[in-house]
Homo-oligomer: A and B are copies of this chain.
Protein backbone atom coordinates (compact mmCIF):
# COMPACT_ATOMS: atom_id res chain seq x y z
CA UNK A 1 0.00 0.00 0.00
CA UNK A 2 1.36 3.39 -0.92
CA UNK A 3 1.34 6.60 1.08
CA UNK A 4 -1.31 8.76 -0.58
CA UNK A 5 -0.52 11.84 1.49
CA UNK A 6 1.88 13.18 4.10
CA UNK A 7 0.10 15.08 6.89
CA UNK A 8 1.33 17.76 9.32
CA UNK A 9 4.32 18.63 7.21
CA UNK A 10 6.10 21.74 5.96
CA UNK A 11 6.63 21.93 2.21
CA UNK A 12 9.44 23.98 0.73
CA UNK A 13 7.95 25.89 -2.17
CA UNK A 14 11.09 26.03 -4.29
CA UNK A 15 11.42 22.72 -6.07
CA UNK A 16 14.49 20.64 -6.82
CA UNK A 17 14.87 20.36 -10.59
CA UNK A 18 17.33 17.75 -11.87
CA UNK A 19 18.35 16.58 -15.33
CA UNK A 20 16.72 19.48 -17.21
CA UNK A 21 13.42 18.79 -15.48
CA UNK A 22 13.30 15.04 -16.04
CA UNK A 23 13.13 14.87 -12.22
CA UNK A 24 11.25 17.45 -10.16
CA UNK A 25 10.80 17.12 -6.41
CA UNK A 26 9.68 19.18 -3.44
CA UNK A 27 11.30 18.84 -0.03
CA UNK A 28 8.99 18.02 2.86
CA UNK A 29 9.84 18.34 6.54
CA UNK A 30 7.94 16.27 9.09
CA UNK A 31 7.07 17.59 12.55
CA UNK A 32 10.01 15.68 14.04
CA UNK A 33 12.43 17.28 11.58
CA UNK A 34 12.69 14.26 9.29
CA UNK A 35 13.26 15.28 5.69
CA UNK A 36 11.63 13.53 2.74
CA UNK A 37 10.96 14.52 -0.84
CA UNK A 38 7.97 13.97 -3.08
CA UNK A 39 8.69 13.95 -6.76
CA UNK A 40 8.23 12.86 -10.31
CA UNK A 41 10.61 11.27 -12.82
CA UNK A 42 9.54 11.55 -16.44
CA UNK A 43 10.31 8.75 -18.93
CA UNK A 44 14.10 8.78 -19.24
CA UNK A 45 17.32 6.93 -18.43
CA UNK A 46 19.18 8.63 -15.59
CA UNK A 47 21.98 8.00 -13.12
CA UNK A 48 21.32 9.18 -9.57
CA UNK A 49 23.88 9.35 -6.82
CA UNK A 50 23.07 9.13 -3.13
CA UNK A 51 24.50 10.80 -0.07
CA UNK A 52 22.35 9.33 2.70
CA UNK A 53 20.78 5.91 2.18
CA UNK A 54 17.37 6.20 0.49
CA UNK A 55 14.18 4.25 0.22
CA UNK A 56 12.31 5.12 -2.95
CA UNK A 57 8.60 4.46 -2.40
CA UNK A 58 6.83 4.35 -5.73
CA UNK A 59 3.34 5.82 -5.66
CA UNK A 60 2.66 5.25 -9.35
CA UNK A 61 4.53 4.50 -12.55
CA UNK A 62 7.04 1.89 -13.63
CA UNK A 63 10.83 1.72 -13.90
CA UNK A 64 13.87 -0.53 -14.11
CA UNK A 65 16.67 0.00 -11.61
CA UNK A 66 20.27 -1.18 -11.47
CA UNK A 67 22.14 -0.48 -8.26
CA UNK A 68 25.81 0.47 -8.49
CA UNK A 69 27.98 -2.61 -8.64
CA UNK A 70 25.14 -4.88 -9.73
CA UNK A 71 24.73 -6.41 -13.15
CA UNK A 72 21.00 -7.05 -13.01
CA UNK A 73 18.16 -4.66 -13.60
CA UNK A 74 15.06 -5.02 -11.42
CA UNK A 75 11.65 -3.71 -12.44
CA UNK A 76 9.48 -1.84 -9.94
CA UNK A 77 6.09 -0.21 -10.16
CA UNK A 78 3.66 1.83 -8.10
CA UNK A 79 3.06 0.13 -4.76
CA UNK A 80 6.64 -1.12 -4.50
CA UNK A 81 9.79 0.33 -2.96
CA UNK A 82 13.51 -0.11 -3.38
CA UNK A 83 16.44 0.74 -1.15
CA UNK A 84 19.66 2.41 -2.19
CA UNK A 85 22.76 2.45 0.06
CA UNK A 86 24.39 5.76 1.04
CA UNK A 87 27.31 7.15 -0.96
CA UNK A 88 26.26 5.03 -3.87
CA UNK A 89 24.38 5.36 -7.16
CA UNK A 90 21.72 3.75 -9.29
CA UNK A 91 20.73 3.72 -12.92
CA UNK A 92 17.02 4.16 -13.43
CA UNK A 93 15.10 3.74 -16.64
CA UNK A 94 11.63 5.20 -16.17
CA UNK A 95 9.10 3.48 -18.41
CA UNK A 96 5.92 5.16 -17.14
CA UNK A 97 6.15 8.49 -15.30
CA UNK A 98 7.14 7.78 -11.70
CA UNK A 99 5.54 9.44 -8.71
CA UNK A 100 7.58 8.77 -5.61
CA UNK A 101 8.41 9.59 -2.03
CA UNK A 102 12.09 9.52 -1.19
CA UNK A 103 12.70 8.53 2.42
CA UNK A 104 16.22 9.33 3.63
CA UNK A 105 18.40 7.68 6.26
Task: Write the residues of chain A forming the contact surface with B, with a CB cutoff of 8 angstroms.
Answer: 2-15, 17, 20-22, 24, 26, 28-29, 38-40, 42, 59-60, 97, 99-101
Contacts and interface: CB of A to CB of B under 8 A. Distances in A.
Contacts of A24: 15, 24, 40
Contact of A5 (B2, B8, B12): B12
Interface centre among A7, A13, A39, A97 (most CB of B within 10 A): A13
11 contacts: A2-B13, A3-B13, A6-B11, A7-B10, A9-B9, A9-B10, A13-B59, A14-B59, A14-B99, A20-B42, A26-B26
Nearest to A10: B7
Contacts of A3: 13
